[in-house]
Amino acid sequence: MSHSPWWRGAVIYQIYPRSFLDTDGDGVGDLPGIVDRLDYVASLGVDAIWISPFFKSPMADFGYDIADQRAVDPLFGTLEDFDRLLAKAHALGLKVMIDQVFSHTSDQHEWFRESRQSRDNPKADWYVWADASEDGTPPNNWMSLFGGVAWRWEPRRCQYYLHNFLSSQPDLNFHNPDVQQATLDYVQFWLDRGVDGFRLDSINFCFHDAQLRDNPAKPVEMRVGRGFSADNPYAFQYHWHNNTQPENIPFLERVRALLDRYPGAVTLGEISSEDSLATTAEYTSGNRLHMGYSFELLVDDFSAGYIRDTVSRLEAAMTEGWPCWAVSNHDVRRAVTRWGGANPSPQLARLLVALVCSLRGSVCIYQGEELGLPEADVPFEALQDPYGITFWPNFKGRDGCRTPMPWTGDADAGFSRGTPWLPVSDAHRALSVAAQDADPDSVLNAFRAFMAWRKEQPALVRGDIAFLETAEPVLAFVRDGEGQALLAAFNLSADPAELALPTGDWQAVHGHGLPAVAVVDGRVRLPAFGVLFAQAV
Catalytic positions, please? Answer: 201, 270
Strands 523-526, 497-500: parallel, antiparallel or unpaired by DSSP? antiparallel
DSSP structure class, residue 467: E
Helix (H) or strand (E) holding 458: helix 458-462
- How far apart CA 524 and CA 58 sit, in angstroms, is 55
> Rounded to an integer, what is the distance from CA 182 to the centroid of its chain?
25
Count of Cβ atoms closer than 10 Å to residue 240 Cβ? 15
Q: Are 161 and 111 in contact (CB under 8 A)?
A: no
- How far apart CA 322 and CA 293 sit, in angstroms, is 9
- The SS3 assignment for 352 reads helix
- The SS3 assignment for 477 reads strand
DSSP structure class, residue 326: -
| Phi and psi angles of residue 488, each rounded to the nearest 5 degrees, phi first | -120, 130
DSSP structure class, residue 469: -
| Phi and psi angles of residue 82, each rounded to the nearest 5 degrees, phi first | -65, -40
- How far apart CA 447 and CA 436 sit, in angstroms, is 11
- How far apart CA 415 and CA 481 sit, in angstroms, is 42
Report the amino acid identity of residue 190: W
Q: Annotate 65-82 with three-state secondary structure.
A: CCCEEEEECCCCCCHHHH
- Return the closest-CA partner of residue 466 out of 360, 537, 364: 360
| CA distances in angstroms from 29 to 195, 264, 338, 408, listed in the order given | 21, 29, 26, 15
Q: Output the CA torsion 146→113→383→352 (10° steps).
A: 60
- Return the closest-CA partner of residue 424 out of 376, 367, 375: 376
Q: Are 369 and 329 in contact (CB under 8 A)?
A: no
